[in-house]
C-alpha cells in the first residue's frame, strides 16, 4: 500500500489522540426502561479494587455482597441473573452504595477502548440497545470526534508504527467511501469493500452460506437458538428463490453501521491478523441484519442479538473472521 509522507504525518502525534464516534458522549444507560438488561446472561467479573471495597462494606448489605462473590465474580442466580438486580431491573449496589461502588465492568459496559501506540479509540458495544439506537438515529454519515488527552501511550517501534499508519490510512479510505454522498450507496459498497450487485455476499456466495457460517458458532443461549432457527426456516421456505433485503434499513443507517463495524474491528488486525476477515466481517454482519431483520426481532434487536452472539465471544469471532479472510 502506497502512502505519501504527508499523508502518513496525519497519524503521528506528540500526545495521545482520542478517537470516538459522533454519538459516544450522548450515551447514558436507560436502566429499567431498557427492554433488555446487561445484568442477565453474562458472567460479571469483579476487579480487585472493587473486591477490596466490597470486603469492607458493613451491615446486612455488606454480608449479602460477600455471600454472592465467588472466584472473582458474582454468583449468578437461576437464568444467569445478577444477584443484585432487583425486580425493577435496577442495581442494588448502585442504589445502596452509589455509582462509584460499581465494579469496573458494570461501570464501563458497554464502552470499549483500544490503544494503538499514541492513538486511543473508544466506542460503545452494539449488544446495548441504547448504543445501537444512537448509532442508527444519527444524521448523515458516521463521523468521529478527536481530542488530545493525557494518557500514557503504548510504545511502538518504527516498523510497527509504519504498519499502524498504513492500516489506519486504509480504514480512512473505507470511511471516506461510505461517507461519500455524491455517489449511490451501491457504488460506495464497491469502493469500500469490492461488493457488486453480481456478488453482494462476497466473499461468500449466497444467504445459505451466511446461515451455515453462523451455525458453526457457539450459541450464547436460547434467544440465539430461536433466532437461528427462524433464519433457517425462512431460507428453507424460500428454497431456490432469492432472499430479498427486507427494506428496514435506510442507506444512511447501513452506511453508519458498516463504518462502525470497521471502526471497531479492522485495526485489531495489527495484533490478531485476519485483515481481510475483519474488513469482510462488517459486510457479513450487515447482510445478516438487513436480510433477516424480521426474523431477528426488528432493527435494533437484530443488531443487538448478533453483536452479543459474535462480537462478545472470541471463539466465535475467530470462526467468522477466519472463514472470511479470503
User: Is 27 a member of any domain?
Assistant: no
Distances (CA, A) of 22 to 191, 250, 251: 23, 19, 18
Q: What are the residues whose beta carbons fall under 8 Å from the beta carbon of 207, sequence distance 6 or more? A: 201, 235, 243, 287, 291
Query: Which 3 state secondary structure label does DSSP give 202?
Result: coil
Q: What range does the domain containing 49 cover?
A: 39-108
98 touches 113 (CB < 8 A): no
User: Is 300 a member of any domain?
Assistant: yes
Q: What is the mean pLDDT of residues 75-90?
A: 89
What is the share, in percent, of the chain residues with pLDDT greater than 70? 96
User: Is 33 a member of any domain?
Assistant: no
Q: Which of 108, 124, 139 is at the close of a domain? A: 108
Domain count, the chain: 2
For residue 80, the model assigns a pLDDT of 85
For residue 1, the model assigns a pLDDT of 43
For residue 87, the model assigns a pLDDT of 87
Same domain as 312, residue 194: yes
Q: Render pLDDT for 50-67 as a digit per residue (tens, 0 to 9).
A: 999 999 999 999 999 999
Distances (CA, A) of 54 to 75, 81, 217, 284: 14, 19, 37, 43
235 touches 211 (CB < 8 A): yes
Whole-angstrom distance, CA of residue 290 vs CA of residue 246: 6
To 10 degrees, the CA torsion angle through 85, 88, 91, 92?
A: -80
Q: Render pLDDT for 138-193 as a digit per residue (tens, 0 to 9).
A: 999 999 999 999 888 888 899 999 999 999 999 999 999 999 989 999 999 999 99
Q: What is the mean pLDDT of residues 284-294?
A: 97
When pLDDT is cut at 50, 70 and 90, the band that residue 326 belongs to is: confident
Same domain as 55, residue 200: no
Query: Which 3 state secondary structure label does DSSP give 79?
Result: helix
Same domain as 93, residue 201: no
Same domain as 312, residue 168: yes
Same domain as 307, residue 206: yes
For residue 14, the model assigns a pLDDT of 56
Same domain as 264, residue 184: yes
For residue 216, the model assigns a pLDDT of 98
Instruction: Name the pTM for this structure.
Output: 0.89
Same domain as 57, residue 205: no
For residue 5, the model assigns a pLDDT of 52
Same domain as 204, residue 97: no
Same domain as 191, residue 262: yes
User: Is 208 a member of any domain?
Assistant: yes
- The burial of 278, by beta-carbon neighbours within 10 Å (0-12 exposed, 13-18 middle, 19 or more buried), is given as buried
Whole-angstrom distance, CA of residue 270 vs CA of residue 136: 28
For residue 7, the model assigns a pLDDT of 46
239: cell is 428454497
Phi and psi for 304 in degrees, rounded to 5? -60, -50
Amino acid at each position: 500500500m502506497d502512502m505519501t509522507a504527508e499523508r502518513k504525518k496525519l497519524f503521528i502525534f506528540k500526545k495521545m489522540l482520542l478517537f470516538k464516534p459522533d454519538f459516544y458522549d450522548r450515551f447514558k444507560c436507560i436502566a429499567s426502561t431498557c427492554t433488555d438488561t446487561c445484568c442477565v446472561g453474562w458472567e460479571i467479573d469483579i476487579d480487585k479494587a472493587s473486591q477490596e471495597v466490597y470486603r469492607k462494606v458493613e451491615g446486612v448489605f455488606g454480608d449479602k455482597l460477600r455471600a454472592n462473590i465467588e472466584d472473582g465474580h458474582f454468583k449468578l442466580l437461576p437464568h444467569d441473573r445478577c444477584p443484585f438486580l432487583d425486580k425493577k431491573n435496577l442495581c442494588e449496589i448502585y442504589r445502596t452504595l452509589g455509582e462509584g461502588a460499581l465494579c469496573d465492568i458494570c461501570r464501563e459496559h458497554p464502552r470499549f477502548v483500544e490503544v494503538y501506540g499514541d492513538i486511543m479509540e473508544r466506542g460503545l458495544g452494539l449488544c446495548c440497545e441504547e448504543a445501537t439506537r444512537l448509532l442508527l438515529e444519527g444524521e448523515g454519515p458516521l463521523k468521529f470526534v478527536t481530542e488530545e488527552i493525557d494518557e500514557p501511550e503504548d510504545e511502538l517501534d518504527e516498523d510497527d508504527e509504519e504498519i499502524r499508519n498504513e492500516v489506519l490510512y486504509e480504514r480512512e479510505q473505507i470511511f471516506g467511501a461510505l461517507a461519500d454522498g455524491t455517489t449511490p450507496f451501491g457504488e460506495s459498497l464497491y469502493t469500500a469493500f469490492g461488493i457488486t450487485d453480481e456478488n453482494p455476499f462476497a466473499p461468500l456466495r449466497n444467504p445459505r452460506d451466511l446461515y451455515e457460517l453462523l451455525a458453526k458458532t457457539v450459541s450464547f443461549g436460547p434467544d440465539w437458538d430461536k433466532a437461528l432457527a427462524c433464519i433457517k426456516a425462512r431460507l428453507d421456505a424460500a428454497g431456490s428463490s432469492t432472499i430479498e433485503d427486507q427494506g428496514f434499513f435506510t442507506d444512511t443507517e447501513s452506511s453508519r453501521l458498516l463504518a462502525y463495524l470497521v471502526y471497531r474491528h479492522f485495526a485489531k488486525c495489527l495484533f490478531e491478523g485476519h485483515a481481510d476477515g475483519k474488513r469482510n466481517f462488517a459486510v457479513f454482519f450487515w447482510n445478516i441484519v438487513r436480510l433477516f431483520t424480521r426474523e431477528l426481532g426488528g432493527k435494533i434487536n437484530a443488531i443487538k442479538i448478533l453483536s452479543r452472539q459474535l462480537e462478545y465471544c472470541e471463539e466465535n469471532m475467530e470462526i467468522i473472521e477466519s472463514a472470511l479472510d479470503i
